[in-house]
Structure 1
Amino acid sequence: MSLFLGLDIGTSAVKAIIIDAEDREQASAVAPLSIDHPHPLWSEQHPDAWWAASAAVLDRLAADHPKLMSGVAALGLSGQMLGVALIDAAGRPIRPAPLWNDSRAGAECAELDVKVADFAGIAGARPMPGFSAPKILWLSRHEPEALKRTRCILLTKDYVRLCLTGEAISDRADSSATLLMDTQAGTWSPQLAEACGISTGLLPELVESGEVGGTLRPELARRFGLRSNLPIAGGAGDNMAGAIGAGVVRTGDAYISLGTSGVYFVANDRFVPARGQGMHTHRHAVPGLFGQHGCVLSAASALNWVAGILGVVSIERFLAEIEAADLPPADIPVFSPYLGGERTPHDDPLATATLSNLRGAAGPLHIGRGVIEGVAFAIADCHDALIAAGASIGTIALVGGGARSRFWGQLIATVIDRPLLLPPLALLGPALGAARLARQASGGGLSHEGDRHGMTMLEPRAGWRPGLEERRAIYRQHYAKLPV
C-alpha cells in the first residue's frame, strides 16, 4: 500500500497526516505553536519553534505508527505564508520571523508602490503589510546587521525543509506570494528584490509544487522511521495546498477557508493582477493556474477571541447552542472582525474591531452569533471584491476548522447567496493538499475522483436573508465611521 505524508506548519499548530492512494486518512498528529507580539503591530514566531513542532509530530507518528511511517513513499510540505526567516551561513535563524499578520511595514508598502512602476503588474498584488517584500525592506532599514549576516531568506515550510533536507528550496506558488517574484513568469524579480534592499542571490532555488524539492537526511530517516532518500515535494503555501485539499484544481473552482484567518480562493487560468481592495493574485500549486485571493485576517481566531472572553469551554458546543437558540434578529449585535486590521477589501492594518447594536437582552449567545455573522460579512466582502476583479466563480467548497459548523457555513452561503459544498475531507485542509503533492512528486495523481462526490450541500436560507442584509448594512457603516 502506497502512503503519503503531509506536513502543514500552520500559525497555531503543526499537523501531519498520512493518507493512502485513495485519500483515506491512516494517521495524524498535531503539535501547538504560539505567537509572540513584542511590540504593537508585531507578530512573530521563531523558526526553531516550527522545526521543534514539526519534529514532535513526526516523532509521535514514528512512536504510534511505525509500520505506516516505514511505508511512506514521499512527504509534502505546506505552511503559513509570508513569514520571513533570515538564515545565516551556518543554516541557523538570525531572529524571530515576522508573520503574515505582522503589520509593522506600512510605510515600506507606500515606498515600494512609488519605487516600482506597476508593482502589482509584476508581483500580482500591491504591497501590503504582512507580505514578505515590505517586511524585508523594513528589516533592511531597522536591522541592517541582521540582513548583512543573512545568506538565505526562507518561508515557513521551507525552513522546515532546510532542517529535513539541508537544502534551501521553495516552490513557485508559495514564493509568488512574497511579492518578490515576476508572478506570471514564475521567476524571482531582480527589480523587486533590489527595491527591498536585497539581491535574488538570497532567495532559494525554485521548483514546482508537485516536483521533488530535496530528499530526507539519513539521520532523520532513521529517527522518524522513514525510508532513506525519501523525496520531499516542493509543496505549497497553505492557501494553495488548501485548494489542492479541497479539489480546487480547475479554473473557476473556488473554496472558502475558515481557519485562523479566512481565505476566499478562486482558480483562474489567466494571470489577473490585483491592483486594489486588498486582493492578491498568486501562482497556484497546479501548473498553468493562478489563484485570486481575498483574505480576512481574523476568522476562526475572532470566534476563539470572544470564546476566551466569555469563558467558553467548548466552541463546538457554543456554536450548537447559538444555532439552537434561534435568536430574534433584532437582538443580534453587529460585529466587524478587524482584530488585527483587515486586508480585503480595506488593506488597512490599523482598522479596529467594532461591536454595535447591543441591547439589554444580549448575552453570550447573542454576542457569539454577532461574531460569526461578522466573519460571514467579511467573507462576503471578499466575494464582492473577487467579482469586481472579474473572477469567474463556479462551485465553492467550504473547508477549515470553522467548517465543522454547518450553521456557520449556511450563514456564509446566505450572505453571499451561493450554495457551498462541504467536502468529506474538509477538516484535513492544507495537510491533505501537502500529502497529495507528495503523491504527485512520487509519480501519482494530484486529485482524487471522489473530490466532488459525497459532498454535503449548504444552501442559502431565504428566511435568514432579510435580517442578515439589515445587519450587513450596519456592518458596512462600521469601517466608514472608524477614526482616521
Structure 2
Amino acid sequence: MYLGLDLGTSGLKGILINEDQEVLAEATAPLSVARPQQGWSEQAPADWIGAAEKVLSQLAGAGLGGLRGIGLSGQMHGAVLLDGADDVLRPCILWNDTRAHAEAAELDAMPGVRALSGNIVFPGFTAPKLVWLARHEPGVFARVAKVLLPKDYLRLWLTGEHVAEMSDAAGTSWLDTGKRDWSEALLTASGMQRAQMPRLVEGSEVSGQIRPELAQRFGMPAGVVVAGGGGDNAASGIGVGVVKAGQAFVSLGTSGVLFAANDGYQPDPETAVHTFCHALPGRWHQMGVILAATDALNWFARLTGTSAQDLTADLGPLKGPEKTLFLPYLGGERTPLNDAAIRGAFIGLAHATDRAAATRAVLEGVSFAIRDCRDALAATGTRIESLLAVGGGSNSRLWCAMIATALGTPVSLPVAGDFGGAFGAARLGLMAATGAGEEIAHPPAISAVIEPDRALEAAFDEGHARYRAAQAAIRGLT
C-alpha cells in the first residue's frame, strides 16, 4: 500500500492505493485560514498536524499494516519559520498573502534574479516574505534557523528530517531552477543563508523514514519511506500522467491552470509563465495561471441570485461568441498580465443581452484567458499535443468545447475518479518505495474527447481578438 497526503489551503486529504494504483480508501480533514489584516493569509502549522492525525486515524481503520511508502503534496510558497529547536516562530504566511508586494518588486528588479530563478518574483512567493519579516518582525527574523514549505513541515513531523524537493523549492525564488540547487546569490539577495534551507531531493526519491512512534501509533510497519513528493500542481501532473513534453492539463477550479510538462529548462519570465522543476528528475514544467475560473462563474451566480448549475443548465450547444465580452479579472490577473490592479468587466452589453448570453460570455472569457496562457507558453517554445481537463469546471461539456475551440486543441476528459495531488503523491510514494520509474505515472482512461468545432474556430479567433482589445482598454483604466 502507498499513501498520498495532500495539504491544501482548505483541507488535508489522504488517498491510499495498492500496487495496481487502485484507490483503497480516502480521508479528509478541514482547515481554515486566518486573515488578521487586509491582504494577510495565515495558518497555524499545528493545525496541519492535527489534520494529519485525523486523516491517518481514519485511514488506520482501513488498515495500514501493508504500507510501504508515503508521498506528500501541498500548497506552495508558504513560509514555515522554525527556531533551532524546530519550534514554530509564528503562523505560516501562505501563498495568497500579498503583504510582501513591495519586497517582491524590489527582489524582482535585482539583476540576475529572474535569470537564476526562471520566474518573476511574485508577492506570494517565499523569498519576499522573509524580506518583509526582516523589516517588520526583526526579532522573529533573527531567530529563524530553518524555513520549510508547508508540506515539508508535515515531513518533519513524519520523519524528523528537514527536506524539500525541487518542484516546491522552485516556487521560493531561492532555487537555481535550471541547476536544481539552492542559489547562493538568490539567498543573499533576501538576507538568507544555505544553512537555513532544508536539503533537497527529487520528488520520487526517499527523503526519510516514518518515525517509529508514529508507525506504532497508526499501525504502520517499521521503515515506511517518505518520498520527496511535489508541489500541488506538480503532484497533480504526476496524478494525471502529464510528465513528458507535449502533455498538458487544464484545471478549471476556483482558479485556472494550464500546466505543461517539459523535457528541458526553457524559462521566459517576461511572459509571467511559471517555470518550475517537475516532481521527476530531469523534468520541468510550466504553468499559465489565471486567478478566477469557476470563481468567476460562481461570482456571476451570486450576482444573479441563482446557482452555477442553473446558469449553465440550458445554454444549448456551442456557438460563436456574441458581442458581449467578459474579462474575468475579479482579483487581478497573473498570466500573462502580472497585474494585481486590473479588474473584471462586462463589455458590449445590449438590450438583447439576457442571462444566458451573459453566462456564455463568462465561460468564453475564462476560455480566452486560458488561450492567453497557451499563447504565453508557446512564446517560451512549449508545445501542447495532448490536453486533459480536470477540476469542477470540466464537468461542463460546453465549457470544454469552448476551450477546445478557442485553443484549436482536443480536450480529453478522464473517467470518473480523483487524479489530483493526493493521488500523484501516492504515486511518488510508490516510486520511492519500489524504485519504479515514471512509467507508472500514466494518463488515466479517457471517457470522452471534445474536439474543436472547426466551423467556429474563426469566430473564436475573432472573439479572442476583441477580448485582447478590451483587455488593453481596461488596463488603461486601472
**Pairwise same-fold verdict (TM > 0.5):** yes
1:336 partnered with 2:327: yes
Matching residue of 2:234: 240
Shift in Å at residue 399 of structure 1?
2.1
Distance (whole Å) between structure 2 residues aligned to residue 310 and residue 53 of structure 1: 36
Residue equivalent to 2:297 = 303
Counterparts of residues 423-438 of structure 1 (less than 5 Å): 423-424=414-415, 427-438=418-429
Distance in 1, matches of 2:458 and 2:421, equals 35
CA contact (8 A) 1:439 1:445 kept: no
Q: Distance in 2 between matches of 1:35 and 1:308?
A: 22
State percent identity of aligned pairs.
43
Question: Equivalences for 1:111-126 in 2 at 5 Å?
Answer: 111-115=106-110, 117-126=111-120
User: Displacement of 1:308 after TM fit?
Assistant: 4.5
Pick one of 447, 456, 462 that aligns with 2:448. Answer: 456
Contact 1:101–1:340 under 8 Å retained in 2: no
- In 2, are the aligned partners of 1:403 and 1:426 still within 8 Å (CA)? no
1:261 is aligned to 255
Q: CA deviation at 1:477?
A: 3.6
Number of the residue aligned with 1:157: 151
SS in 2 for 1:107: helix
**Are 2:407 and 1:413 aligned?**
no
8 Å contact from structure 1 (residues 101, 297) kept in 2: no
Give yes or no for contact 1:413–1:459 (8 Å, CA) kept in 2: yes
Q: Would the alpha carbon gap of residues 200 and 426 (structure 1) be closer, same or farther in structure 2, given more than 3 Å must change?
A: farther
- Kept in 2, the 8 Å contact 1:354–1:478? The answer is no
Distance 2:311 2:417 in 1: 18
What TM-score do the two structures reach when normalised by structure 2?
Answer: 0.91
Q: Distance in 1 between matches of 2:198 and 2:295?
A: 32
Q: Where do 1:277-316 residues align within 5 Å? A: 277-312=271-306, 315=308
Decide which of 76, 82, 86 is 2:77's aligned counterpart. Answer: 82
- Using the alignment, how far apart are the partners of 1:309 and 1:6 within structure 2? 38
The answer to whether structure 1 residue 373 and structure 2 residue 364 are counterparts is: yes
Q: Deviations over 1:370-427 (max 9, x none)?
A: 3333222211111000111111222122223333333322221111111122233664
Contact persistence 1:129–1:349 (CA under 8 A): no
Query: In 1, distance between residues paired with 2:319 and 2:248?
Result: 31
Shift of the 348–329 alpha-carbon distance from structure 1 to 2, 3 Å rule, reads closer
Alpha carbons of 1:337 and 1:87: their partners in 2 closer, same or farther (altered >3 Å)?
farther
- Number of aligned residue pairs: give it: 475
Whether the 8 Å contact between 1:401 and 1:427 is mirrored in structure 2 is no
Q: Which amino acid aligns with 2:33?
A: I
Match of 1:10 in 2: 8
- Equivalent positions of 1:212-231 (< 5 A) are 212-231=206-225
Unpaired segments of 5 or more residues in structure 1?
Answer: none
* Compared CA separation, residues 247 and 475, structure 1 to 2 (3 A): same
Residues 80 and 149, structure 2, Cα contact 8 Å, conserved in 1: yes
Which of 163, 167, 178 in structure 1 is aligned with 2:172?
A: 178
Q: Which residue of 1 aligns with 2:55?
A: 57
Question: CA RMSD, aligned part only?
Answer: 2.6
Q: Could you tell me how far 1:211 is from its partner in structure 2?
A: 1.0
Partner of 2:87: 92
Unaligned runs of 5+ in 2: none
Q: Which amino acid aligns with 1:100?
A: W
Counterpart residue type for residue 284 of structure 1: H
Counterpart secondary structure, 1:440: helix
Report if the CA contact (8 A) 2:73-2:229 is conserved.
yes
Instruction: Check if 1:137 corresponds to 2:128.
Output: no
CA distance in 1, matches of 2:318, 2:398: 11
Q: What is the CA–CA distance in structure 1 between the aligned matches of 2:30 and 2:458, rounded to whole Å? A: 41
The alignment partner of 2:288 has SS state of: strand
- Of stretches 402-411 and 160-169 in structure 1, the one that deviates more from structure 2 is 402-411
2:34 corresponding residue in structure 1: 36
Aligned residue in 2 for 1:250? 244
Check 1:409–1:124 CA distance in 2 against 1; reply closer, same or farther (3 A cut).
same
